[in-house]
Amino acid sequence: MYDLIIIGAGPAGLSAAIYAARAKMDAVIVEEKAVGGQILNTLEIENYPGSDLEESGPSLMEKMKKQIEYFKVQVINARADEVYLNESIKKIRLSTGETLEAKSIIVATGASPRKLNCKGEQEFTGRGVSYCATCDADFFNGLEVIVVGGGNTAVEEAIYLTRFAKKVTVLVRADKLRADRLAEEKAREIENLHFKFNTSLAEIKGEGFVKSVILRDNKTGEESIYESEDGLLGVFVFVGTSPHTDIFKGKLELNEDGYIIADKDMKTDISGVFAAGDVRNTNLRQVVTAVSDGAIAAVQAQKYIDSLALE
């Protein structure tokens, strides 16, 4: 019987574990993959306060991992296959067949950007291919950038990128944008922002870093090569994100996009269950917001457990 089970070992989960351990809670982390989460795919981090100027995702997560090891928080390497949340004692069935019990649970399973699944995308992720303008825009200062997507997020991020890139070209697979009219009108007023409609990204090419892309005309099927004048090219993909919430469908309240609905105290619709980081409904998904969520969730979990003792 644990005080707290944390599902997910990204920045939110690790932050929650640190706060739980310092509060003398008996906590455990369940993580299917490597400790660190999506940030392990980021080669450089410049916007996390206090980090080294040459900090990388893996190096920052290694520091957090050492902290939870110092506090002796156990990490169980397994997948959470089923959750039972409605009773006072919460239960989680793992892929190992084991069932864990706890008084409270923090869901920090994160979310993943949807991929194009085109040739070269995986190879150049972190080497010219990005899924976060706020994180990586500054690395493309003065370069040309390709943005893939036609929704509000793609247009808003393209507008943001124009502050850094000398030219931003948005590839829209349809003949019109899905973004709202206000965003489109704003984008069309920006001199260094351009649209290519009925166009898909077929392939990403380069040598160590992205240097060119192959574009496909969705009407004719004709392909053409796009190269930057400077020899280096940024590719930002904004075709949606997918929260890791499959096992919580029908168990927790989710919004229309599948994210867990949680309030400012990270409380979900079930007492004793909290959500933190990219998996919850939030306007900003960054390392700094994830660790904040994790800290708040752990403190609220402690308060919840303390309230049980008074009953």
- What is d(CA 92, CA 81) in angstroms, rounded to the nearest whole number? 7
Annotation marks residue 135 as catalytic: yes
8-state DSSP, 236: E
300 exposure class (CB count in 10 Å sphere: 0-12, 13-18, 19+):
buried
Q: Give, for 147, the enclosing helix (H) or strand (E).
A: strand 144-148
**Angle CA 177–182–188, to nearest 5:** 65
What separation in angstroms does the CA of 262 have from each of 167, 199, 253, 276?
38, 38, 9, 8
What separation in angstroms does the CA of 38 have from each of 18, 187, 293?
19, 30, 16
Residue tagged active-site, from 3, 118, 136, 293:
136
Residue tagged active-site, from 26, 52, 81, 135:
135
Count of CB atoms situated within 10 Å of the CB of 241: 17
Helices and strands (H, E) in the chain, number of each type: 6, 17
Residue tagged active-site, from 81, 132, 217, 269:
132
Backbone angles phi, psi at 144, to 5 degrees: -90, 145
Annotation marks residue 136 as catalytic: yes
Helices (H), 143-204: 152-161, 181-188
172 exposure class (CB count in 10 Å sphere: 0-12, 13-18, 19+):
buried
User: What contacts 208, CB < 8 A, 6 or more positions away?
Assistant: 127
What's the longest Cα–Cα distance across the chain? Answer: 70
User: Which sequence positions are flagged as catalytic?
Assistant: 132, 135-136
